[in-house]
Amino acid sequence: MNNWRGAACLTFALGSTFLATGAQATNGYFLPGFGLRSQGMGGVGVAIGGDSLSQAANPANLVGMGMRGDFGVTLFNPVRHAKVYDRDQGDGVGDFGFSGDEESDDELFPMPEMGFSMPIDSRWTVGFAMVGAGGMNTTYRKNLFASKLNSINNIINSPFIGLGAGASAKVDSDLGVDLMQVLLPLSVAFKVNEEHAVGASLVLAAQRFRAYGLKNFYNFSQPILVTAFGTPISSDPATLTHNQFDWSFGAGVKLGWQGDFFDDRLTLGATYASRTYMTKFKLYKGLFAEQGDFDIPSNWGIGLTLRPTKDWTLAFDINRINYSEVASVHNLGPDQYPSLSGIQTSTARCTPTDCDGLTNYNALTGADGGMGFGWKSITVYKWGLSHDVNDQWTVRTGYNYSKSPIADDQLTFNILAPATTEQHYSAGFTYRSKESPMEITGTYMYAAAREQSSCGNNIVDCVAIGMHQNFLGLSFSWVLDPPSRHN
C-alpha cells in the first residue's frame, strides 16, 4: 500500500504540469490514442487495454486490469507552416494585402499522462486517469494577417480608432492561438460474466485558450471601417483577440462494452462518449460562435482484437469524431460570406439588431451562427500489432489514418489551426522487470507531412497550410496486482 500511495503522489505532482503545457493533436485536434501502449499500436483501445490510461478509450478496459499506476511524458514536436499570397494584386480577391510565409515557433511540448486502476472485488474495478484530449497551438513571429495596403493602414491608423499614427507597425507582430484540453475520466467497470464486461466514466474536462494577432479583424469591426467598407467581422470586438488565457470547465459521460469469444482469441468492443458541455470562454465570446462556446464533440468507436497465438495480437478500431456538432468548430469561415471578399462602398452600419444587406449579423464571429473553422466530422481508422518476444519484452507497431477535417475553401481561419495531417506511423515497446513491479513503455509516432492549399479564399486570396509531427514518449508503471484478464 505504501508503494501505491507513493505512486499516487508522484503522479499527481506530474499531472500538475498539464496546466502549463499546450499541444496540437493529430486526428483533427484529438490525440490519436490514450496512453503510450495505445499510441504504439496506432491508437487502438476500444477492444484492447494494457494500462490504466486505456480507461479513457473504453472504461470496460478496467476489468481484470488489477491494481496498477501509470505515468509518463510525451515530447510532442509539431512542425507547422502557413503561406498567404495574392495571385494578382488587381484581381479583386485578397485586396487587403495579407501576405507572408512563416513556420510556427514553439515546436516542442511536454505532455504528461497518468492513471490508476484498483479492483474492489472479483467483479468491480474502479479507476481514474488524467489525459490530454487534444489542442491547437500556433506561434507565427510574422503576422500573416497584417495588411500592407496603405489605404487600409491609413484608416487603421486614424485617431478615430484610437491607435494613433503609425500604429499598424506596432499592432500584433505575432499571430497565434493556444488551446489545451485535459480529460479526467472517473471510471467504474463491471465483469458481467467470464466473457463480457461493461464500464462507465464521468469525464471531467478543463480547457484554456488565448488568441493574439487578430487586431486587423478587430479594426474591421470598428465604426470607421464599417462605414468605409461595410464589413464588420466580430459581434463583440473587445473579446475577439489579445486577451489573457481564459479557462473553461465541463463534463460528459463515456460508456463501453467488451466481449470475449472463441476462447479469448477474439475480443469485440464498443464505446460512446457524449458531447462534453463546457462553460464558455467569456474573454473570447467575440471570436467563438455562440458567445464563446467551445464544447468537446461526442465520439464513438468500435474495435476488434485478434490473438492468433499467445504471443501475437492484432487490433483494429474505427472511431468517429463529430466535429460538426460544435458550432465554433464546424461553422463555415469567411469564404462563404461574399460581403467580406472585397472593399465595400456602402456607408450603412451593422448592429446586433439592425443590419444592412451587405452582411448578416448572425455570421459575425461570436454570434449564434458566427463564422468558425469550417471543420467536418471525421472517421479515424487504427491498426495495431504487438508481439510478446518473451516474458520481459513486448514490441508494437501501428498505423492511424483520418482525413483532414478542413475543406480547401476553409483555409483562411485554419492558418491558426493547420490540422492537415492524415497518416500516422508508430512503434513501441514495453519492458517488464523481474526484480520489481515496474514496467517501462516507450513509443515513437510520426505524422507524415501534408499540405493543403487553394486560391480564392476570402479576405486573403491564396493560402497554403501544412504540418508534420513527431511523438516520443516514455512511461513508467507499477503493477501491484497482476492482471487477471488479457490486457
β-pair partners for 430: 394, 441
CATH number where 261 lies: 2.40.160.60
User: What pLDDT score does 91 carry?
Assistant: 47
Average pLDDT over residues 377-406: 97
- Say if residue 164 is exposed, middle or buried (CB neighbours under 10 Å; 0-12, 13-18, 19+): exposed
Residue 445: per-residue pLDDT? 97
Any idea which of 292-296, 322-326, 338-342 has the lowest mean pLDDT? 338-342
Average pLDDT over residues 293-312: 97
Alpha-carbon distance 301 to 379, whole Å? 9
- Nine-digit cell at 43? 491508437
169 pLDDT above the threshold of 60:
no
Dihedral class, residue 262 (left if φ above 0, else alpha if ψ from -120 to 50, else beta): left
Once rounded to an integer, what is the mean pLDDT over residues 165-184?
Answer: 71
Q: Are 129 and 116 in contact (CB under 8 A)?
A: yes
Q: Are strands 312-321 and 299-306 parallel, antiparallel or unpaired?
A: antiparallel
pLDDT at 373: 92
Does the pLDDT of residue 90 top 90, yes or no? Answer: no
Determine the pLDDT at residue 14: 47
Residue 289 or residue 154, greater confidence: 289
397: CB partners within 8 A, 6+ apart: 40, 41, 42, 384, 385, 426, 427, 428
Residue 487 lies in a domain: no
The type of residue at 77 is N
Residue 190 falls in which region: left (phi positive, over 0), alpha (psi -120 to 50) or beta: beta
Give the three cell numbers for residue 189: 467497470
Q: How many CB atoms lie within 10 A of CB 90?
A: 8
- Give me the pLDDT at residue 229, please: 52
In a domain, 486, yes or no: no
Which cell numbers hold the place of 416?
491558426
**Residue 226, pLDDT score:** 54
Residue 249's CB is within 10 A of a number of other CB atoms, namely: 11
Give a three-class secondary structure readout of 336-373: HCHHHCCCCCCCCCCECCECCCCCCHHHCECCCCCCCC
Q: What is the pLDDT of residues 327-336, one digit of tens each?
A: 999 998 875 4
Query: What does the pLDDT average to over 85-101?
Result: 66
Cα–Cα distance measured from residue 477 to residue 49, given in angstroms and rounded to the nearest whole number: 14
Nearest CA-CA partner of 417 in 427, 403, 426, 406? 406
Q: Is residue 457 part of a domain?
A: yes
Of 99, 132, 138, residue with least CA distance to 113: 132
Tally of domains in the chain: 1
Mean per-residue pLDDT, 151-180: 55
Q: What CA–CA distance (Å, rounded) separates 466 from 455?
A: 15
Query: What is the structure's pLDDT at 414?
Result: 94
Q: Compute the distance between CA of residue 114 and CA of residue 292 in angstroms, rounded to an integer.
A: 30
Q: Between these two residues, 20 and 50, which has the higher pLDDT value?
A: 50
What distance lies between CA 104 and its chain's CA centroid?
A: 17
Instruction: Output the pLDDT for position 349.
Output: 32
Domain that holds residue 89: 2-479
Burial class (CB in 10 A: 0-12, 13-18, 19+), 324: middle
State yes or no: pLDDT of 356 exceeds 70: no
The answer to the question of residue 484 being in a domain is no
Match 493529430 to its residue by C-alpha cell.
26
Cell numbers representing residue 86 in the block: 495574392
Which pLDDT value is given to residue 25? 62
CA 374/CA 463 separation, integer angstroms: 15
Written as one string, the DSSP assignment of 233-279 is: -BSSGGGTSS---EEEEEEEEEEEEEEEETTTTEEEEEEEE--BEE-
